[in-house]
Amino acid sequence: MYLSVGEYGKAKEYVNKALSISKEIDDRNGAAVCYGILGSLYKSLGEFRKAEECQKKALVITKEIANREREAASYGSLGTVYSNLGEYGKAEEYQRKALMIGKEIGDRKGEAACYGNLGAAFQSLGEYSMAEEYKKKALVIRKEIKDRKGKADCYGNLGTLYLFLGEYGKAEDSQKKALVIIKEIGDRIGEATCYGNLGTVYKSRGEFCKAEEYQTKTLVIRKEIGDREGEAACYTNLGTLCLSLGKYAKAKTYHEKALSVSREIGDISKQLTCHLHLAFDALSEGNMAQQDVFSNLFSSIQRCEEMRSLLGDNDRFTEDIIFSPTRYFLPFTRCLALQK
């Protein structure tokens, strides 16, 4: 309950108490549940390696006690952690394992979660038609089983996809549907996400005042609940917004804050984009010779190499993720064009 409303300190306190008792009475299923909750907690805090460790402990136990439902949940949770770490090959692998088990045991809620997670993974790869297909499958199931929280998440996820596709009307409509449900059920994390997504929609439309209003709302909530990953995203969004308004110094300050948080939580993918944003900030001021430009570009290349090393021999993900100009380098190439 505390995790769902973003009170991470209390959530950690109670789940550790539960874990301690579960171990004392040799309740292995209970211990697996606790490790899973701790994994979700650490993921929300941006501590992805700790999240991975906890989810792996949960997975080991669930396989040993043959709890198929929990096993699927552990696979799915690990998949989302690997997405955060930029290990997209592993992310897809684990989500498909979770989906297979969910279908076998008739776990409709788990199946919907897998479809949603796969949709997010394919969106990260730029495969938008497959992303929409999976996200719509998830929404259909959430409606059938009357899962209001899941339904709101699906609307929000579809909204972000439509934003990428430039379908701003659909994006706004989906995010507002999500926000109505989220407020009714008191989900602070979801509320922050909706505000941020709506802010991005308004920025894309050129409605900068509304965009700043909504991005500020989400930043306030992210900081209140200790969501470090979300906080970094807010700083990035506010930075790009300031850049659009020609406020270069302010944009740089926000992007530096985003980079600082991304380093603290070990999010390589976000560090890469932060360095590119900072290079873009310097270029936007009209000085191609600035040391900041080259320093940040070299740093972004280093982050690329780190991500590529995590992918191993998976050429598909190496090509689609690391070297996709539309994903990472488009802001820089646009700025070069402006300079010319």
Do 230 and 178 lie in one domain? The reply is: yes
pLDDT at position 320, please? 46
pTM: 0.63
| Residue in the structure block whose two tokens are 């390589």 | 268
Which helix H or strand E contains 58, and what residues bound it?
helix 48-64
The count of C-alpha atoms lying within 13 angstroms of the C-alpha of 302, restricted to the half-sphere facing its C-beta, is 9
Helix/strand number for the chain, H first, E second: 17, 0
| Residue in the structure block whose two tokens are 């970094």 | 232
Domain membership flag for residue 228: yes
pLDDT band at 289 (very low <50, low <70, confident <90, very high): low
> Both tokens of residue 246?
């020609």
- Mean pLDDT, residues 58-65 taken together: 96
E runs forming strands in the chain = none
Interval 141-198: pLDDT, tens: 999 999 999 999 999 999 999 998 999 999 999 999 999 999 999 998 889 989 999 9
Nearest to 141 by CA among 185, 103, 170, 194: 103
Dihedral sign for Cα atoms in the order 113, 114, 115, 119: positive
User: Per this entry, what is the length of the chain?
Assistant: 340
The count of C-alpha atoms lying within 13 angstroms of the C-alpha of 273, restricted to the half-sphere facing its C-beta, is 21
User: Domain holding 227: CATH number?
Assistant: 1.25.40.10
Do 171 and 233 lie in one domain? The reply is: yes
| Cα angle 186-192-195, degrees, rounded to a multiple of 5 | 115
Nearest to 77 by CA among 104, 53, 107, 105: 53
Do 231 and 293 lie in one domain? The reply is: no
Of residues 64 and 314, the one with the higher pLDDT is 64
pLDDT at position 265, please? 79
pLDDT at position 270, please? 80
Do 273 and 232 lie in one domain? The reply is: no
Across the chain, mean pLDDT equals 85
For residue 38, is pLDDT > 90? Answer: yes
pLDDT at position 310, please? 58
For residue 242, is pLDDT > 80? Answer: yes
Q: Give the number of domains in the chain.
A: 2
Domain membership flag for residue 138: no
Expressed as residue numbers, the domain containing 298 is: 250-255+268-340
Of residues 205 and 274, the one with the higher pLDDT is 205
> Both tokens of residue 160?
């972000």
> Both tokens of residue 215?
């991005």
Residue 316 CA, chain-centre distance (Å), reads 21
- Mean pLDDT, residues 82-104 taken together: 90
pLDDT at position 287, please? 59
Domain membership flag for residue 289: yes
pLDDT at position 249, please? 86
- Range name among 20-34, 117-131, 197-211 with the lowest pLDDT average: 117-131
